[in-house]
Amino acid sequence: MGLNFINKLTKSASPSYDEKERENVSVNSTDGLGTEPRILEAGDPHESDSSMLNLGNGEIIDKTSDDRKQIGVMSAVFLIFNRMVGTGIFATPSTIYLLSGSVGLALIMWVVGALIAGAGLMVYLEWGTTIPKNGGEKNYLEYVYRKPKFLITAMFASYVFLLGWAAPNSVIFGEYILNAAEVEVTRWNQRGIGLGCLTFCFLIHSISVKWGLRLQNFLGVFKLIVIALITIVGWVALGGGLKHVKDPHANFRNAFSGSEKATGYGIVMALYNVIWSFIGYSNANYALSEAKNPVRTLKIAGPLALIMVAIFYMFCNISYFAVVPREQIGESGRILAATFFRVAFNESAEKAMSVFVALSALGNVLSVIFSQGRIIQELGREGVLPFSSFFASNKPFNSPFPGLFEHYCVSIIILLAPPPGDAYNFISNLITYPLSAINVVVSLGLLWVHFDKWRHARNPNLPPSMFADFNPPIKATIPVTVFFMLASLYLVVAPFLSPDADQSVYKDLPYWLHCVVGIGLFVAGAIYWLFWAIICPKLFNYKLVKQTVIGSDGWSRTVINRVKKDEVAHGDEF
């Protein structure tokens, strides 16, 4: 299987960890500094160290010093904002309108999407403030679904490892750049420019975390200005201030006319596109080890970013419908924002807007690569991935370079593989579908935690709950969690409904393809786990032992070692 059952480890550090500081660390490691990593066992004094937090399920969370942390409230806001506001609000409203059948129903889709995102944010705030550690969903799934050991982690790892989240907005970056240059969009010039976008984002986050964050923050402010500009232009149009817009209220008369054409498949795919535009509300959860005061940071940054985005999304849609005639909305496809400025002003404004949207896509790709690289690094620290020590490393630039590089490579494949015309829709749906499945499992797990604690509290004769240590600073509430779970479950089941011939989101691909591929990712993870954790140990007479070690950087990480069955092992055996 190519898995490195590591007995020697490279370091796994925060990207803010300083090289000079590493030279002064006396903790042992085998990361090339000539010493061994020390195993953290039960009763170890480091368990109560101020730099460690024992979660109670064998998991140790780093409580790192402030000088290793770079993400404050504003950086977290823009980390979330940049991830959410990519090209969705510029590229998907046309598709959402066509699938919904009417202006009124399209606007309702955006409201429903905002409510689902709000419920999801509350669920992830509860998890993130309880487990303030890099990795996001990986940590929450492992906390709840502890048996079979690491099965859930392997399935999640397959999803993260094999999907290129940065690809869709790289496609849009290329399309809008070509539109601004008045060059005909072809399969390869669009994707060639997208490849350049991917490469730039990968390099800047690999070489300089600080400058990558600065550029993200700058583009976050820039995107805020762009969507504010669209909003203001729409208001001016509704007030009769644009001479090129003869009747800004036309699309709002009989706003629900055409809704009867919407199908179950059309509604769910419209919601998919809306939720694709809202993906990212949990983006700060992937880098909480690097956040200053993570509970306070999440509590402020999450709601602030989501509320801003939800309000601006609604205003932008109203502006589109106020300025662009219905037939042009349907025909505009992914360049609706550029069409909006052409109708409102002139072709020069259309070119300028195309550049603005391309820069927005660039900011989103930066944010996606930043977070996905850290998830892969965290999976490497867990010891589940093949060559885990490689992916856990911060070499050579004191950044999660191996994780960033892996995501870069997969994104290139996904960028180049789909047929022309279907690339953007297939990639975005392929990412959204398995994410909806994960959201079902994450929210169901949160409900189980609360039920198990309630059950043990009511019956004092039962042993302590396995989740007794779960005391969240922020609570999503049961109704909100149930709503999020049911909404996510609907998004998992409904895409299997057969669409009408004219409502499939694909031109050449089967309507169910993204569902099957998404499920296949999880199945691949389960098969990998079966060989790695069950079959190979039996065939070669060894056992896997989970240990927590402290590296030269002072950070802990979970390591899975291969030990002969007759040997005494320190750690948690499978």
Rounded to 5°, angle at Cα 277 from 356 and 281: 105
Rounded Cα distance, 356 and 369, in Å: 20
Helix (H, G, I), strand (E, B) or coil at 572: strand
pLDDT in the model for residue 285: 86
Closest listed residue to residue 100, CA positions, set 111, 84, 116: 111
Which two tokens mark 554? 């002072």
Strands 542-550 and 556-564: antiparallel
Give pTM, 2 decimals. Answer: 0.80
**Is residue 245 classed exposed, middle or buried when 0-12, 13-18 and 19+ CB atoms within 10 A define those classes?**
buried
Rounded Cα distance, 140 and 443, in Å: 10
Rounded Cα distance, 554 and 132, in Å: 17
Residue 293 backbone zone (phi > 0: left; psi -120 to 50: alpha; other: beta):
left
Residue with tokens 């980390």: 79
Domains within the chain, CATH numbers bracketed: 69-533 (1.20.1740.10)
Rounded Cα distance, 258 and 99, in Å: 10
Rounded to 5°, angle at Cα 292 from 450 and 294: 10
Helix (H, G, I), strand (E, B) or coil at 86: coil
Helix (H, G, I), strand (E, B) or coil at 414: helix
Residue 442 Cα distances to 123, 287, 517, angstroms: 8, 18, 21
Question: What string of pLDDT tens digits covers the 574 residues of the chain?
Answer: 333 322 332 233 333 333 333 333 222 233 332 334 444 444 444 443 334 444 544 454 555 555 556 788 888 888 888 778 877 888 889 989 988 889 999 999 999 999 999 999 999 999 999 988 877 888 899 899 988 888 998 998 898 888 888 888 888 899 889 988 888 888 789 889 999 999 999 999 988 888 888 888 888 888 888 889 999 999 999 998 888 888 889 889 888 988 887 877 788 888 888 988 898 898 888 778 778 888 888 999 999 999 999 999 999 999 999 999 988 888 887 778 888 888 888 888 888 888 888 888 898 899 888 888 888 887 887 778 888 878 887 878 878 888 999 999 999 988 887 776 677 778 778 888 898 999 999 999 999 999 999 998 888 888 888 888 888 999 999 999 999 999 999 889 888 877 776 667 777 788 888 899 999 999 999 999 999 888 988 898 888 887 777 666 555 666 777 788 777 566 566 5
